[in-house]
Amino acid sequence: MFKIASLLALAGLVSAAVNVEQVHLGLATSAINCANGISVEFASASDKPMTVTYSAKGDATKTATTTVESYSVAAATYNYTSPYFHTALLCNLKSITSYTYDIIQADTGCGSLFSSKFVTAPAPGSDAVPTVFGIVGDVGSEHIMDTLQNMAVGMNGTVAQALIVVGDYAYANGQHEQWDAWYNQGQDVFSTVPTLGINGNHETIKGGGATKPKDKNKYIAENYIGYIHRSNNPITTAQKNALRTYFSVDIGLVHCVFLDDYAGTRGANKTFIGTQAWLDERNLQLQWLQTDLSTVDRTKTPWVLVLKHNPYYNSWNIHQCQCDATRFEISNPENCWKGIYGNSSDAAVSSQPHCANQAKFEDVYLKYGVNLVIAGHVHAYERTAPIVKNKVDSKNGIVYMTTGAGGHGNVCVRLDAIPSWSVSATSEAFAATRLVATKDALSVYTTANQVDTVLDSFQVTKNGVVNLQTNINQNTSNLSGSCDDDS
């Protein structure tokens, strides 16, 4: 068949088959008119729509046609045009079911260009199987496959039903070829397990390129463009065009809320910070968060996660911000929300917006009983006791986690005075977090790459937080020879 098709193509009777690459899956929802769905995105040199065929065992084969888009960057020192990104929406799928899919270029007669399979997640509210995620931030390219495999393996015999990236994907920093390389690096995992995620600073305000030393004069900050065109999250086109990337999704027993810490920023343009337009964007996200959490059905999804990039309760010495004379205190929430930091020498709201966000977000988390807030940004691991306004509160508090040891360097120095709420912290290994939800408990395990050692684990129940297992020595938390952070 290949020889016949090739001869026909040479004769001009059919077009030559094109390659597809960067194949990755996402979760589709009713927000983009595809309930209980999977989105299949891939890159190609062809701007012609393609077909994705898919089927479960015993079912008739169905087809979906791709939409096609691309983007360009034109700057004085750098120009880039992306390949064509194709996205097919496979909707109304059965839950907890294995599907095979093929990418077809219909006019060649050459058959499948790419084949793979996936297993759908449990339906919202279903406890037929545990709900299992892999979660990590700050992935980069250096250890990507170790980290992705760590996330995907799941726990207790159930593989991950989704991979969640809490910001800082490829560290392209405006050098968009790195995005192409990153999705190709991870294709073996990305094409079999859907990914969800939220942008971090390296998708928004950081430029300079992907390689060291950074060429800060050549590559401009991305201002969301690479993330929006590639991450295929369930966000409407209108929201993407407005650079509003926050969204929520129900998966099994968990309601996941993704918040953009950089809402209102416009790349490296710091003059926009503090303007009314900037504050309006921040208030829109805040209003959306309040509305979203107010409508959660806790009988259906008993566990609520907030997933974002920047950690507020962070005892490492990097990515700190401060709104008050006392670190982790916010005595004037209105000023802090507007970006007026009490100790401006620590950080500016443009680069470290988490204090400003916490000034308003924490009250909303507490009001609606968020169970866990998970961030990256700091290239290490940390877990807090349940906290209310910088105080341990085992009854009403929320557990905050930093899981930023995805592989792009480690941070190895703690604050001189470590707060009492810091229960467990380490940078001794590149690692990822696995989460398992049942009706009765939310169990969280952070495991080292390759060796699969559980570094820390705990369980959230209706009666409080239970420590399960830890192999962390708080006094020796350095990864020897690799204390590095590209913030």
More confident residue, 84 or 482: 84
Q: Could you give the CA distance from residue 135 to residue 148 in angstroms, rounded to a whole number?
A: 9
More confident residue, 416 or 345: 416
* pLDDT confidence bin for 487, thresholds 50/70/90: low
Letter string b/e over residues 446-484, b meaning 16 or more CB atoms within 10 A of that residue's CB: bbbbeeeebbbbbbbeeeebeeeebebeeeebbbeeeee
Torsion of CA 346, 347, 349, 352, to 10 degrees: -110
| pLDDT over 90, % of the chain | 84
Q: Could you give the CA distance from residue 455 to residue 260 in angstroms, rounded to a whole number?
A: 28
What was the pLDDT predicted at 131?
98
| pLDDT over 70, % of the chain | 91
With a cut of 90, say whether residue 168 has pLDDT above it: yes
Q: What is the mean pLDDT of the chain?
A: 92
* pLDDT confidence bin for 474, thresholds 50/70/90: low
Q: Could you give the CA distance from residue 377 to residue 310 in angstroms, rounded to a whole number?
A: 5
With a cut of 80, say whether residue 356 has pLDDT above it: yes
More confident residue, 245 or 2: 245
What was the pLDDT predicted at 107?
67
Q: Kindly list the distances between the CA atom of residue 283 and the CA atoms of 39, 109, 241, 248, 288, in Å, as whole numbers in the listed order.
A: 30, 52, 18, 17, 8
Structure-token pair, residue 272: 């926009």
Please choose, from the candidates 282, 212, 206, 215, the residue with its C-alpha nearest in 3D space to the C-alpha of residue 244.
282
Q: Could you give the CA distance from residue 216 to residue 459 in angstroms, rounded to a whole number?
A: 44
Q: Could you give the CA distance from residue 89 to residue 124 in angstroms, rounded to a whole number?
A: 19
Letter string b/e over residues 53-73, b meaning 16 or more CB atoms within 10 A of that residue's CB: bbebeeeeebebebeeeeeeb
With a cut of 50, say whether residue 330 has pLDDT above it: yes
Please choose, from the candidates 85, 100, 188, 84, the residue with its C-alpha nearest in 3D space to the C-alpha of residue 146.
188
Taking the domains of the chain in order of start, what are their residue ranges? 16-120, 123-470
- Ramachandran region, residue 227 (left: φ > 0; alpha: ψ -120 to 50; beta: rest): alpha
Answer yes or no: are the C-beta atoms of 361 and 391 closer than 8 Å. Answer: no
Q: How long is the chain?
A: 487
What was the pLDDT predicted at 473?
65
pTM of the model: 0.94
Pick the range with the lowest mean pLDDT from 47-51, 176-180, 346-350. Answer: 346-350
Pick the range with the lowest mean pLDDT from 15-19, 87-91, 338-342, 407-411. Answer: 15-19
* pLDDT confidence bin for 384, thresholds 50/70/90: very high
Structure-token pair, residue 284: 């829109």
Q: State pLDDT tens for residues 116-155.
A: 999 999 999 999 999 999 999 999 999 999 999 999 999 9
What was the pLDDT predicted at 343?
66
With a cut of 70, say whether residue 459 has pLDDT above it: yes
CATH code assigned to 16-120 = 2.60.40.380
What was the pLDDT predicted at 288?
98
* pLDDT confidence bin for 213, thresholds 50/70/90: confident
Q: Could you give the CA distance from residue 90 to residue 118 in angstroms, rounded to a whole number?
A: 12
Q: State pLDDT tens for residues 67-100.
A: 999 999 998 899 999 999 999 999 999 999 999 9
Q: What are phi and psi of 316, to 5 degrees?
A: -85, 160
Q: Is 458 helix (H, G, I), strand (E, B) or coil?
A: strand
Q: To 5 degrees, how large is the angle CA 294–CA 298–CA 304? A: 75
What was the pLDDT predicted at 481?
40
Within 8 A by CB and 6+ apart from 207, the residues are 173, 174, 216, 219, 220, 221, 222, 267, 268
DSSP per residue over 380-439, as a string? SEEEEPPEETTEE-TTT-BEEEEE--SSS-B---B-SS--TTEEEEE-SS-EEEEEEE-S
What was the pLDDT predicted at 18?
77
What was the pLDDT predicted at 485?
64
With a cut of 60, say whether residue 210 has pLDDT above it: yes
123-470: CATH architecture? 4-Layer Sandwich (3.60)
DSSP 8-state class, residue 476: -
* pLDDT confidence bin for 10, thresholds 50/70/90: very low
Q: Could you give the CA distance from residue 475 to residue 422 in angstroms, rounded to a whole number?
A: 13
Q: Kindly list the distances between the CA atom of residue 379 and the CA atoms of 39, 136, 172, 292, 474, in Å, as whole numbers in the listed order.
A: 30, 10, 17, 30, 16
With a cut of 90, say whether residue 299 has pLDDT above it: yes
Element (H, E) at 317: none
The whole-number average pLDDT for the span 443-449 is: 96
Q: Kindly list the distances between the CA atom of residue 384 and the CA atoms of 125, 207, 280, 412, 436, in Å, as whole numbers in the listed order.
A: 28, 32, 32, 18, 19
